[in-house]
Structure 1
Amino acid sequence: MSKQAFVALVTCFNDDETINYEATRAQVRRQVDAGNNIMCAGTNGDFSALTFEEKVRLTEEVTDEVAGRVKVIVNAGMPATFETLKLAREFDRIGVDGIAVVTPFFIACTQDGLIRHFSTVADAVETPVYLYDIPARTQNHIEPETARTLSRHGNIAGIKDSGGAKETLEAYLAVAKDVEGFEVYSGPDHLVLWALQNGAAGCISGLGNAMPNVLAGILNAFNTGDIAEAERQQAIYSAFRTDLYALGFAPAMVKRSLYLQDASVGASRQPALLPNKDQDAQIAGILRRYDLL
Structure 2
Amino acid sequence: MSSQKEAFVALVTCFNDDETINFDATRAQVRRQVAAGNNIMCAGTNGDFSALTFDEKVRLTEEVVAEVDGRAKVIVNAGMPATFETVALAREFDRIGVDGIAVITPFFIACTQDGLVRHFTTVADAVKTPVYLYDIPARTQNHIEPETARKLAQHPNIAGIKDSGGAQETLEQYMAVGRDEDGFDVYSGPDHLVHWAFQNGAKGAISGLGNVMPEVLAKIVSCFNAGDEEGAAKAQETYGAFRTDLYKLGYPPALVKRALWVMDNSVGASRQPALLPDPEQDKQIEAILKKYELL
The percentage of counterpart residues that share the same residue type is 77
Correspondence for 1:127 among 126, 129, 134: 129
RMSD value, Cα: 0.3
Provide the residue aligned with 2:289 in structure 1. Answer: 287
Moved over 6 A (4+): none
Correspondence for 1:270 among 272, 275, 285: 272
Aligned residues: 293
Q: Deviations over 1:185-208 (max 9, x none)?
A: 000000000000000000000000
- Residue 152 (structure 1) shift: 0.2
Structure-2 separation of matches of 1:202 and 1:78? 24
Q: Indicate the SS of the match to 2:275.
A: coil
Q: Deviations over 1:212-231 (max 9, x none)?
A: 00000000000000000000
Correspondence for 2:44 among 37, 42, 45: 42
- Residue 31 (structure 1) shift: 0.1
Provide the residue aligned with 1:5 in structure 2. Answer: 7
Provide the residue aligned with 1:174 in structure 2. Answer: 176
Structure-2 separation of matches of 1:281 and 1:261? 12
Matched to 1:278, the amino acid is: E
Q: How do 1:206-245 residues align onto structure 2 when only pairs under 5 Å count?
A: 206-245=208-247
Structure-1 separation of matches of 2:294 and 2:273? 27
| Structure 1 unaligned regions, length at least 5 | none
State whether structure 2 residue 123 is matched by structure 1 residue 117.
Answer: no
TM-score (norm 2): 0.99
- Residue 181 (structure 1) shift: 0.9
Structure-1 separation of matches of 2:277 and 2:26? 20
Structure-2 separation of matches of 1:56 and 1:234? 34
TM-score (norm 1): 1.00
Provide the residue aligned with 1:30 in structure 2. Answer: 32
- Residue 80 (structure 1) shift: 0.3
Provide the residue aligned with 2:69 in structure 1. Answer: 67
Q: How do 1:56-205 residues align onto structure 2 when only pairs under 5 Å count?
A: 56-205=58-207
Structure-2 separation of matches of 1:53 and 1:246? 35
Q: Indicate the SS of the match to 1:117.
A: helix
Q: Indicate the SS of the match to 1:19.
A: coil
Correspondence for 2:261 among 256, 259, 262: 259
